[in-house]
Structure 1
Amino acid sequence: MTSGIGVLDKAVGVLRAVSAEPCGLAELCLRTGLPRATAHRLAVGLEAHGMLHRGADGRWRPGPTLTELASGRADPLLEAASAVLPRLRDITGESVQLYRRDGTQRVCIAAAEPASGLRDTVPVGTRLPMTAGSGAKVLAAWAEPAFQRAVLAEAVFGERVLLDVRRRGWAQSVAERESGVASVSAPVRDAGGHVVAAVSVSGPVERIGRRPGVRWAADLLAAAEALQHRL
C-alpha cells in the first residue's frame, strides 16, 4: 500500500524493515531496495525523532517514540525536562541541554536557550561523541566498565577524571568538544538510582570562565535532583 507521497512511503518502508529484525545499513538497503544514501538519510532522520534507535552494534531498532505514540504516554524524562530546564536557563542565563546515552554517542533530547546573547546552541536530536565534553564524562563515569574502557581508549580524558566526577558528583570541560566553549554537567537518576541522563549548562569560556563548576555546580545539582524527583 502506498500513499502517493514518496518520502513518506520510503520512511514507512524503513520502519517496517527494522521492525522485522534489527539491521545495519547494508541489510536495510536489501530489505527496502533503497539506495544506500537514501536509506541512510531516512534512518538517521527517523533516529533523530526517536522513531528508530541505533544500538552499540550499529544496528537500528524501533525507537522509544513509537512506544510513546502507541501507548499515548510521553517520555517522563522529557516531561520533567520541560519544567526544569527553562528554570535552570533563567538562573544561569546560559544554554541548557539534557543528554541521553545512545550506543557509543550521546544525544541531546531537550534544550533551553536564552532569548538573546551569544549562545552555545545544541539542537535537539544532535548526536555528539562520548570522548569529550562534560556531558560525556558524566554519562561515562557511571557506565558499565566495558563501555568505560572503550570510551577511554579514544577520549581526551582519562580514568582519573571519571573517578573525580563520581567523587564530586559533577563534571566540567573547557574547550574539549568545541573551541571557546565551556560546560558543566551533572547526572540525572531514575527512581532506582541509575544514571539515565546528563543535564548540562554551557556557554562561551570568556563569559562563564575556565572553572564553570565553581560557578554553576550547585544550581546544576539542584536541577538534576528536581528532574529525579519528577521521574
Structure 2
Amino acid sequence: MRQDSGIGVLDKAVGVLHAIADSPCGLAELCDRTGLPRATAHRLAAGLEVHRLLSRDPEGRWRLGPALSELASHVNDPLIAAGAAVLPRLREITGESVQLYRREGTSRICIAALEPPAGLRDTVPVGTRLPMTAGSGAKVLVAFADPATQQAVLSSAKFSDRTLAEVRRRGWAQSAAEREPGVASVSAPVRDAKGAVIAAISVSGPIDRMGRRPGSRWAADLLAASEALTRRL
C-alpha cells in the first residue's frame, strides 16, 4: 500500500507512475487503473512525459520513461549493488532468468533482473510491481513478513499458512504455473546483518525446462547465492 503524502497532485502523479509501471496503457485504461477523471489523468501523464518520466511506445501508449532509469542510477542501494555482483553467476549456473524482489506493503517489486542470452525467458522488468498472492518470491516474502501482512495476503493467496510454515522450515519456496501459466520458479530469502529478511532472490523460467519441482534442481545454488548477497550486505 502506497503512502499518502497529503499533497494531492503529487500523490496522483505517483499513482499514475505506478499504474503505468504495471504495463503500458492508453488514456482510457489509465483512468480505469487510477480512478482519475479523463482530463486529470491526461494532464498528469502529459506533464510526466514532458519531464521524461513517461514516454510513448509505437502504439501511442504511455510507458515508464528514461528519466526514471537515469535517476535510479544515482541511488546508492547496497542490495542492488550486491545483486550486481551475485546475480550474473546465478544466471550462468542455472541458464534461467534471475530476479531480486523487495516487499512494499502487500506487493513485491523487482529491483534487479537478468535474462538468459537465448531461449524462452520469464521476463520481469526492473520496477515491475507484482501481487504477493502467487509465486515463489511472494511465498518467501510473506513467510517472513509481519503477522498483519500475512493475514492480509492469505485471504486471497494461492497458497496457505501451512505452505508458509514449510517455507520457513526449509528456507526456500517453489511454484509452478502459479503466478503465470507455463512458468516455474524457486526463491530464497535474503537477510541483512541482523538476520531480518529484506528481499527474495529468484530463478524463474519455463516449466518445460525447470520442471514442476524446480527446488530439487536449483535450491542449493539459490541458497548459496542468497548467502553471498547477505555477506556482501
- The answer (yes or no) to whether the contact 1:183–1:200 under 8 Å persists in 2 is yes
Q: Name the amino acid aligned to 1:144.
A: D
CA deviations 1:93-126 (Å, max 9, x no partner) are: 0000000011221000001111111111111111
Matched, 1:126 2:128: yes
* Matched residue, 1:12: none
* Matched residue, 2:179: 177
CA-based RMSD of the aligned residues comes to 2.7
**1:171-210 → structure 2 map (5 Å cutoff):** 171-210=173-212
- The answer (yes or no) to whether the contact 1:88–1:219 under 8 Å persists in 2 is yes
Distance 2:109 2:76 in 1: 18
CA deviations 1:157-189 (Å, max 9, x no partner) are: 010000000000000000001000000000000
Distance 1:25 1:218 in 2: 48
The share of aligned pairs that are identical, in percent, is: 65
Matched, 1:39 2:41: no
Distance 1:185 1:130 in 2: 13
- The answer (yes or no) to whether the contact 1:25–1:39 under 8 Å persists in 2 is no
Matched, 1:162 2:168: no
Q: Give the match's secondary structure for 2:130.
A: strand
Distance 1:219 1:24, change over 3 A: farther
Q: How many residues align?
A: 189
Distance 1:103 1:39 in 2: 25
- The answer (yes or no) to whether the contact 1:25–1:40 under 8 Å persists in 2 is no
- The answer (yes or no) to whether the contact 2:176–2:212 under 8 Å persists in 1 is yes
Distance 1:100 1:166 in 2: 17
- The answer (yes or no) to whether the contact 2:105–2:149 under 8 Å persists in 1 is no
Which of the residues 132, 138, 144 maps onto 1:142?
A: 144
- The answer (yes or no) to whether the contact 1:170–1:184 under 8 Å persists in 2 is yes
CA deviations 1:53-91 (Å, max 9, x no partner) are: xxxxxxxxxxxx78x95xxx6100000000100000000
Report the CA distance between 1:29 and its aligned residue.
Answer: 5.1
Matched, 1:22 2:22: no
Report the CA distance between 1:28 and its aligned residue.
Answer: 3.8
Which of the residues 138, 152, 155 maps onto 1:153?
A: 155
Report the CA distance between 1:27 and its aligned residue.
Answer: 7.1
* Matched residue, 1:230: 232
- The answer (yes or no) to whether the contact 1:29–1:35 under 8 Å persists in 2 is no
TM score, norm. by length of structure 2: 0.74
Distance 1:116 1:23, change over 3 A: farther
Q: Name the amino acid aligned to 2:222.
A: L
Distance 1:136 1:35, change over 3 A: same
- The answer (yes or no) to whether the contact 2:5–2:11 under 8 Å persists in 1 is no
Distance 2:45 2:162 in 1: 38
TM score, norm. by length of structure 1: 0.74
Q: Name the amino acid aligned to 1:82.
A: A
Report the CA distance between 1:38 and its aligned residue.
Answer: 4.5
- The answer (yes or no) to whether the contact 1:138–1:170 under 8 Å persists in 2 is yes
**1:8-87 → structure 2 map (5 Å cutoff):** 22-23=5-6, 28=11, 35-39=40-44, 42=48, 69=74, 74-87=76-89
Distance 1:76 1:156, change over 3 A: same
